[in-house]
Amino acid sequence: VMLIVDAVEGPRAQTYEHLDIISHLGVRHVLGVVTRADLVDAPRVHDVCAEVAALVVDTTGASRPVIATSAVTETGLSELVAALDDLVEDLEVPDRGRPRLFADRVFTIRGAGTVVTGTLVDGALDVGMRLTTGNATSRVRALQHHGEDVLAVQPGERVAVNLADVGADTVDRGDVLVEVYRWHHTEVIDAEVALSASTPSSLRGVMVHVGTARRLASMRPVGAGNAADAGGSLR
């Protein structure tokens, strides 16, 4: 995760909300970045960087240099790229052998048809593979990775998938493309939910984020002793 804080404003309520989410997700690789460093003096930049570094340590237990940047003067941009490269160098990408692609964009190209873009997880994609969203089934006509035509893409890679025989109106942002017969579709899940201190007492209507999907849902605690206590968890 790249945690971005404005040098002018410093950490705000949303920053702490993001740190809370990072903590609940168990993310331990976090890079702090301070932006708009050109708009404040050097002592202010130093203070904000120190504050962000302390927040990252408190959340992840890991200490990393915070990068101060400016898009106007290009200060720190090369250092940021190098720090990101260093951060991801040793990360392992999970590969469960069953590809999933959560759509973040869907559009039509004249002469090619429907194109879906996203970040591939859990398995490789090949040209010719049959994919489904549950509502529509198609064949992978072509693949592109960073603007270049490829025959296959691996987990963790960005990809544009050209689908055969489906219209752009049959796939939406948030839909997940999976290999035919490899996944089950469901509307009910069992989960253990970590609660933040700011969690409201009523959890009847919640917004669930899965992949690129954002869906309204209802939550019902199951079993005894599952009251929604802030800072705890429920099943």
Tens-digit pLDDT profile for residues 108-125: 998 888 999 999 999 999
Q: What is the chain's alpha carbon radius of gyration, rounded to the nearest angstrom?
A: 21
pTM: 0.76
pLDDT of 190-218, one tens digit each?
888 777 777 766 667 788 888 999 988 88
Closest CA to 31 of 106, 86, 94: 86
Instruction: Please enumerate in sequence order all residues whose Cβ is within 8 A of that of 5, keeping only pairs 6 or more positions apart, or say none.
Output: 11, 15, 32, 33, 34, 35, 48, 51, 52
Confidence of residue 227 (pLDDT cuts 50, 70, 90): low
Average pLDDT for 140-165: 95
pLDDT at 167 over 70: yes
Mean pLDDT (the chain) is 88
Distance separating alpha carbons of residues 132 and 165, to the nearest angstrom? 12
Confidence of residue 6 (pLDDT cuts 50, 70, 90): very high
